[in-house]
């Protein structure tokens, strides 16, 4: 071994141990990648806020293959990263196996429940937020027909659709909701062309407000809705800015807050079941300068009343995943 | 007489190709402002200096050995089977059905059953393109690649509907029952004092792949069938003149090829995930082509090339974990190696052949 390689090796060794000692957090993005304009990107936003405020660097990886799920978890845990945050339900099985091997490391998983003593499971009451934007859709609609476009047809997305339909019916019992799913495989999360086609199909059925809960596919929905001059509703991140004056609102799922909270708590993060809903600011609808003209005062009062009622427990929105049925919508 | 000595063909060309790929990769890493020396060091340390790293390297290598052997067996009959991906997917279905619906008492029996299931399903998927080539002259390259799409759609349909447990979000089957779980290297080699291969997915099917290498070698160079396959590959009309049936040779070679590709699923589906997931092949069917090309269609060469590609996959994962090199560029680096070792073989070969010829003339 030459002097040069020895020196490099020592430097790398110091760099690695220094990282381990600081117990920095780590972030694992699912296969969709961190720039999906929606779910993973919201997690990235939370991470960015954390590292800008604290000056701490966060280790992150975008997965390339299924076998890497377990590998990334174990390698980060072995290196002393704490806590380790991951996005997506697909980590559930793997985390349940890995977490018991690292009792001193804290894990946070978003959108899935893993029942281990060192895991924080963050789930969102998406049905509550969808209910609120459903009310707004029904009030903004002139035709009495509104649309819903989901990504992959899984119980989670049906939960969005069901909450939305309940919100619509609460305002206008005669309104009809047209609901479509983009597909049945993970490819449905990133198919803007199909999203655009579904939007056109729903418009021809009379829909004039369309809610997209479809990850990257939603980009196509919002674009086509803007082109055809009808209103759309964004999801997860605030997407109002994408087409100013054409996006009625966005259903905010504060994944960024969940990631930020987990990281700022550091190694002392509380574990257990963590429900983010309207009551604790985990779920909301977006108001900003881009949609101010679209939302009337009357509309906002009605929605804020419902929001307060949900937060206080007076109004309960049916959760599709609790019993796999929906009172307001047929799938 | 050959244009150049055997050692140059087997050793020198792959090494020169690797060095060229390494130089280009270095430029790529330099261009994005990272330190290439550190990157290579990370790859080597992460993939080869820890037992768990070897566990991942050999896990990926197991996949590539099966698909590489599949491509090389077909290639000995000059059939270019690029349907390894689809055949492996069907193999996964065979494994899943065998594991889910037969109550195996022990893994040693289960691996026999699932290997047969995987090989049968993979072979069946190769049969139709083989028949079309042998009897109808439809080109095998076109039909096998088309069959990849059909396989993906079929698996999709089954996993989204029939095989998915009720209420689950993932398009995947239920977890296989406990007795079918294969022992990993950790179970086999780690003791309480020396925790080896911790958490790594390499499992007993690696030895199945080694056995497959040996059997393929015996088949191709030590049996009558292998002789017929090679004879047919060298000259179809010559083989016909010698009384070898073209139809039979094509179909048998493709069946063996499809069966080998299918058996890859024993490693990924039964060994690692322990359930059938949608993207279980992860492109190994295509990597098999590069592995076979680099291994010169010889089982021992395939073994070495598979380990090299396993190293690239595992080293790439380490780069993604510890550097800020984006994953797209890691794919670029992996692709450069495939490009130079697989596709640009002649770029190195031709000048070398000329060089050796020139040297020989001088001697004469």
Residue B337 maps to a domain: no
User: In chain A, where are the structural domains located?
Assistant: 23-124+259-264, 127-252+296-323
Say whether domain A127-252+296-323 belongs to CATH 3.40.50.2300.
yes
Nearest to A64 among B156, B170, B327 (CB): B327
H, E, C per residue of A138-162: HHHCCCCEEEEEEEECCHHHHHHHH
Of the listed ranges A34-43, A83-92, A301-310, B51-60, the least confidently predicted one is A34-43
pLDDT of residue B2: 62
Residue B334 placed within a domain: no
**Average pLDDT of every residue of chain B:** 90
Two structure tokens written together for A59? 């280790």
Task: Give pLDDT, residue A14.
Answer: 42
Q: Is B49 within the bounds of a domain?
A: no
Contact B266, B108 (CB under 8 A): no
Q: Could you tell me the two tokens for A28? A: 């694992």
Q: Could you tell me the two tokens for B175?
A: 């977890």
- Per-residue pLDDT tens digits for B209-218: 999 999 999 9
- DSSP category for residue B266: I
Does the pLDDT at position A1 exceed 50? no
Domains contained in chain B, number: 1
Q: Is it the case that residue A20 has pLDDT exceeding 50?
A: no
Of A289, A317, A58, A197, nearest to B321 (Cα)? A58
pTM higher than 0.90:
no
Tell me if the bond preceding A83 is cis, omega within 30° of 0.
Answer: yes
Burial class (CB in 10 A: 0-12, 13-18, 19+), B117: buried
Grade residue A12 by pLDDT with cuts at 50, 70 and 90.
very low
For B231-252, b/e burial (b = at least 16 CB within 10 A) is: bbbeebeebeeeebebeebbbb
What percent of chain A clears pLDDT 70, i.e. is strictly above it? 93
Question: Which of B38, B156, B167 has the CB atom closest to A8's CB atom?
Answer: B38
In a domain, B294, yes or no: no
Query: What integer pLDDT is reported at residue A7 of this predicted model?
Result: 45
- Domain that includes residue B134, residue range: 62-192+200-286
- pLDDT at B1 (0 to 100): 45
Whether residue A64 and residue B330 make contact (CB cut-off 8 A), yes or no, is yes
Enter the tokens of residue A186: 């993970």
Residue B40 forms part of a structural domain: no
- Res. B349: pLDDT tops 90: no
Contact between residue B335 and residue B316 where contact means Cβ atoms under 8 Å apart = no
- pLDDT at position A21 is 43
Q: Which of A22-26, A37-41, A215-219, B332-336 has the highest mean pLDDT?
A: A215-219
Residue A67 and residue B272: Cβ atoms within 8 Å? yes
8 Å CB contact of B317 and A324: no
A64 closest CB neighbour out of B167, B170, B320: B320
Residue B359 belongs to some domain of the structure: no
Sign of the alpha-carbon torsion through A289, A291, A294, A295: negative
Structure confidence by residue, pLDDT tens digits, A78-108? 888 999 999 988 898 889 989 999 999 999 9
Residues of B with Cβ-Cβ distance to A66 under 8 angstroms: 272-273, 277, 279-280, 282
DSSP secondary structure code for residue B9 in this structure: I
The answer to whether position B179 is within a domain reads yes
State which residue of chain A sits closest to B280, comparing Cα positions: A66
Segment A188-215 shows an average pLDDT of 93
Task: Return the percentage of chain A with pLDDT > 90, whole number.
Answer: 61
Written as one string, the DSSP assignment of B82-111 is --HHHHHHHHHHHHHHHHHHS--SSHHHHH
- What's the maximum distance between 2 C-alpha atoms anywhere in chain A? 80
pLDDT score at A15? 43
Say yes or no to pLDDT of A4 above 80: no
Residue B35 lies in a domain: no
Q: Are A326 and A320 within 8 A, CB to CB?
A: yes
Whole-number pLDDT of residue B339: 84
A233 DSSP β-pair partners: A211, A249
**What would the pLDDT profile of A169-193 be if each residue is shown by its tens digit?**
999 999 999 999 998 877 888 889 9
Task: Tell me whether domains A23-124+259-264 and A127-252+296-323 share a fold.
Answer: yes
The least confident of A19-28, A253-262, B226-235, B282-291 is: A19-28
Q: What is the CATH number of domain A23-124+259-264?
A: 3.40.50.2300
pLDDT in tens, B190-202: 887 777 888 788 9
Q: CB contact, 8 Å: A8 with chain B?
A: yes
By the 8 A CB rule, do A175 and A187 touch? no
Task: Give the count of Cβ contacts less than 8 A between chain A and B.
Answer: 76
């Amino acid at each position: 071994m030459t002097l040069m390689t020895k020196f490099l090796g020592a430097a790398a060794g110091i760099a690695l141990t220094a990282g381990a000692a600081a117990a920095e957090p780590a972030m694992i993005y699912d296969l969709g990648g961190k720039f999906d304009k929606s779910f993973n990107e919201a997690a990235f936003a939370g991470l960015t806020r954390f590292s800008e405020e604290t000056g701490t660097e966060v280790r992150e990886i975008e997965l390339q293959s299924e076998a890497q799920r377990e590998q990334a978890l174990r390698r980060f845990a072995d290196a002393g990263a704490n806590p380790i945050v991951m996005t997506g339900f697909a980590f559930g099985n793997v985390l349940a196996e890995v977490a018991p091997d690292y009792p001193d490391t804290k894990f946070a998983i978003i959108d899935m429940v893993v029942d281990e003593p060192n895991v924080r499971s963050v789930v969102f009451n998406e049905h509550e937020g969808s209910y609120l934007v459903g009310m707004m859709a029904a009030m903004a609609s002139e035709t009495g027909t509104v649309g819903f476009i989901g990504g992959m047809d899984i119980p989670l997305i049906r939960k969005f659709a069901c909450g939305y339909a309940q919100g619509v019916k609460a305002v206008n019992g005669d309104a009809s909701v047209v609901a479509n799913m983009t597909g049945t495989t993970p490819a449905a999360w990133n198919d803007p062309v199909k999203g655009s086609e579904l939007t056109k199909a729903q418009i021809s059925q009379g829909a004039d407000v369309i809610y997209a809960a479809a990850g990257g596919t939603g980009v196509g929905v919002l674009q086509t809705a803007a082109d055809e001059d009808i209103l759309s509703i964004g999801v997860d991140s605030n997407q109002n800015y994408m087409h100013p004056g054409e996006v009625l609102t966005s259903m905010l799922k504060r994944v960024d807050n969940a990631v930020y909270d987990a990281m700022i708590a550091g190694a002392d993060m509380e574990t257990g079941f963590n429900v983010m809903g309207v009551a604790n600011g985990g779920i909301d609808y977006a108001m900003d300068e881009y949609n101010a003209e679209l939302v009337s005062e009357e509309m906002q009062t009605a929605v804020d009343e419902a929001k307060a009622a949900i937060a206080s427990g007076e109004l309960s929105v049916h959760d599709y995943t609790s019993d796999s049925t929906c009172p307001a919508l047929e799938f | 007489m050959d244009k150049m000595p055997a050692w140059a063909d087997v050793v020198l060309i792959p090494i020169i190709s690797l060095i060229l790929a390494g130089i280009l990769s270095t430029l790529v890493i330099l261009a994005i402002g990272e330190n290439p020396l550190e990157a290579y060091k990370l790859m080597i340390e992460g993939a080869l200096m820890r037992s768990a790293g070897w566990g991942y390297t050999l896990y990926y290598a197991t996949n590539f050995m099966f698909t590489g052997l599949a491509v090389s067996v077909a290639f000995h009959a000059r059939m270019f089977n690029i349907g390894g991906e689809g055949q492996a997917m069907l193999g996964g279905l065979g494994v899943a059905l065998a594991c889910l619906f037969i109550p195996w008492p022990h893994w040693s029996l289960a691996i026999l059953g699932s290997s047969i299931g995987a090989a049968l399903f993979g072979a069946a998927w190769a049969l139709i393109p083989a028949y079309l080539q042998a009897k109808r002259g439809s080109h095998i390259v076109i039909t096998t690649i088309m069959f990849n799409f059909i396989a993906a759609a079929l698996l999709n349909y089954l996993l989204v509907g029939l095989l998915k447990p009720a209420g689950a979000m993932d398009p995947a089957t239920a977890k296989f029952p406990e007795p079918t779980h294969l022992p990993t290297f950790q179970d086999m080699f780690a003791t309480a004092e020396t925790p080896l291969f911790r958490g790594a997915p390499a499992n007993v099917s690696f030895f199945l792949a080694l056995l497959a290498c040996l059997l393929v070698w015996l088949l191709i160079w030590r049996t009558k069938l292998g002789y017929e396959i090679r004879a047919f590959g060298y000259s179809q009309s010559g083989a016909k003149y010698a009384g070898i049936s073209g139809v039979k040779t094509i179909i048998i070679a493709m069946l063996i090829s499809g069966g080998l590709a299918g058996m890859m699923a024993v490693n990924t589906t039964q060994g690692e995930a322990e359930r059938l997931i949608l993207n279980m092949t992860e492109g190994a069917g295509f990597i098999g082509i590069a592995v076979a090309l680099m291994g010169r269609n010889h089982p021992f060469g395939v073994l070495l090339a598979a380990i090299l590609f396993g190293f690239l996959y595992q080293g790439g994962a380490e780069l993604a974990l510890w550097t800020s090199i984006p994953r797209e560029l890691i794919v670029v680096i992996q692709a450069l190696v495939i490009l130079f070792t697989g596709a640009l073989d002649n770029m190195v070969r031709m000048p070398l052949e000329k060089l050796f010829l020139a040297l020989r003339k001088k001697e004469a």
